[in-house]
């Protein structure tokens, strides 16, 4: 069990909200064909990739499991998106609680949270490759708030191509 300051937990909550904001943008309004879009033999489709990082995020921090799970089969990307954001909500609720973290805040950020951001970037890149790019944005000015971890996020402040 690791003692963690309130400011570190708040930073982690803001980080998870950032993942939700960027993830919501990358997944919102994806075309139907996107879930099975495939670019090569050694790559995952978006449907097989998206739940992996949320499951790891929850498993590492809440359930105290450290092994990285494989993709969880799901009938649709929409179903997985709901599960993904429910997992982020569960993680955020845990961070907002008085329950002890199972590891350092720094380790949780550099491992599962950074991994989740990486996966969001991969989904955004796959959207572009699939012919349905998302617009870039000044993320410094984005309306990201700790605790706002659902698929529905604030509208972008300023997007650009």
pLDDT tens-digit series, residues 73-125: 555 667 777 778 888 888 899 899 998 887 788 988 888 888 888 888 888 99
Compute the distance between CA of residue 92 and CA of residue 14 in angstroms, rounded to an integer: 9
Under the banding of pLDDT at 50, 70 and 90, the label for residue 60 is: low
* pTM, two decimal places: 0.83
Residue 114 lies in a domain: yes
Averaged pLDDT of the chain: 81
Residue 38 lies in a domain: no
Residue 142 lies in a domain: yes
pLDDT (0 to 100) of residue 50? 60
Compute the distance between CA of residue 142 and CA of residue 145 in angstroms, rounded to an integer: 9
Total Cβ atoms within 10 A of residue 144: 19
pLDDT (0 to 100) of residue 38? 87
Boundaries of domain holding 121 = 6-32+43-152
**More confident site: 157 or 9:** 9
Residue 157 lies in a domain: no
Residue 66 lies in a domain: yes
Q: What are the distances in angstroms from CA 156 to CA 5, 33, 99, 138, 142?
A: 31, 25, 33, 9, 6
Contact 63, 152 (CB under 8 A): no
Residue 130 lies in a domain: yes
Closest CA to 121 of 54, 22, 18: 22
What integer is the mean pLDDT of 123-129?
91
Count how many domains the chain has.
1
Closest CA to 56 of 97, 2, 16: 16
pLDDT (0 to 100) of residue 1? 40
């Amino acid at each position: 069990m690791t003692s963690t300051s309130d400011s570190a937990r708040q930073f982690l909550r803001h980080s998870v909200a950032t993942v939700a904001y960027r993830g919501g943008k990358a997944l919102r309004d994806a075309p139907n064909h996107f879930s099975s879009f495939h670019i090569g033999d050694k790559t995952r489709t978006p449907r097989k990739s998206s739940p992996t990082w949320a499951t790891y995020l929850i498993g590492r921090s809440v359930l105290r499991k450290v092994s990285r799970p494989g993709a969880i089969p799901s009938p649709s990307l929409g179903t997985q998106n709901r599960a993904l954001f429910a997992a982020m909500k569960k993680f955020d609720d845990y961070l907002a609680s008085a329950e002890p973290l199972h590891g350092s805040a720094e380790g949780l950020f550099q491992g599962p949270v950074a991994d989740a951001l990486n996966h969001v970037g991969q989904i955004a890149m796959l959207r572009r490759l699939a012919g349905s790019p998302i617009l870039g944005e000044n993320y410094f000015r984005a309306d990201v708030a700790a605790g706002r971890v659902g698929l529905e996020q604030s509208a972008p402040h300023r997007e650009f191509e």
